[in-house]
Amino acid sequence: MKKEMEQVRLHLRRQKACQEAMTIMAEADTKERRITEKQVLKVLRLWGFKKNESRKRVRPLGSDFVHSDTLGLVKEYRGSVKLSRCTLEYPQFMSFLCRWLRDNYEDEFAYTSISVNSTYCARRHRDLGNVGPSLIKAFGNFEGGRLYYWPYDEATIRDPADPARSKRPRVQDLDETRKLTLDVKAEIHLFDGRRAHEVEPFTGHERFSLVFYTTNNYQNADCYLRFLREDFEVPLPRSQRMGRLNDRMDAMHKAMQRRVRRAMRRQHCSDIDQDLSAEPREGIHNRGPVSHEVAESSKRARLRERLEIRGQHQPQDGPVPPVARMRRRSEEPPLVAGVRRLQDARSEVLSAENKSLRAQNHQLQSELLNHHRQRERDTRSMLNTVRPHADVLHRQVRAIRNIRHNMLSKGSSLNVMLREIQQAIQHQVGVMASLTDSCALELETLTQSGSQSVVQS
- The Cα 198–Cα 264 span in angstroms is 20
- The Cα 90–Cα 69 span in angstroms is 12
pLDDT digits (tens, 9 = 90+) for 379-394: 888 878 877 877 788 7
Confidence grade of residue 19 (pLDDT, cut at 50, 70, 90): very high
Residues 6 or more apart whose Cβ sits within 8 Å of residue 87: 71, 72, 94
pLDDT digits (tens, 9 = 90+) for 24-50: 999 999 988 999 999 999 999 999 999
Residues 100 and 183: beta-carbon distance below 8 Å? no
- The Cα 275–Cα 303 span in angstroms is 9
- The Cα 35–Cα 24 span in angstroms is 8
Specify the pLDDT at position 99. Answer: 94
∠ CA 165-167-170, nearest 5°, is 160
Residues 132 and 195: beta-carbon distance below 8 Å? no
Residues 48 and 17: beta-carbon distance below 8 Å? yes
- The Cα 183–Cα 147 span in angstroms is 7
Mean pLDDT for the stretch of residues 348-374: 83
pLDDT digits (tens, 9 = 90+) for 200-249: 999 998 999 999 999 988 888 888 898 899 889 999 998 888 889 988 88
Give the neighbor-by-neighbor strand order of the sheet with 147-149: 180-182, 147-149, 197-199
- The Cα 239–Cα 174 span in angstroms is 32
pTM of the model: 0.60
> By CB neighbour count within 10 A (0-12 exposed, 13-18 middle, 19+ buried), where does 333 fall?
exposed
**Amino acid (1-letter code) at residue 101:** L
Domain map (residue ranges) of the chain? 2-157+168-266, 279-320
Half-sphere exposure of 454 (CA within 13 A, CB side): 6
Residues 28 and 34: beta-carbon distance below 8 Å? yes
Give DSSP secondary structure letters for 391-403.
HHHHHHHHHHHHH
Mean pLDDT for the stretch of residues 143-152: 92
∠ CA 196-83-221, nearest 5°, is 90
Confidence grade of residue 333 (pLDDT, cut at 50, 70, 90): low
For the chain, the residue count is 457
Give which of 193, 6, 46, 23 is closest to 114, Cα–Cα: 193
Give which of 269, 55, 263, 246 is closest to 178, Cα–Cα: 263
Class of domain 2-157+168-266: mainly beta
- The Cα 122–Cα 199 span in angstroms is 5
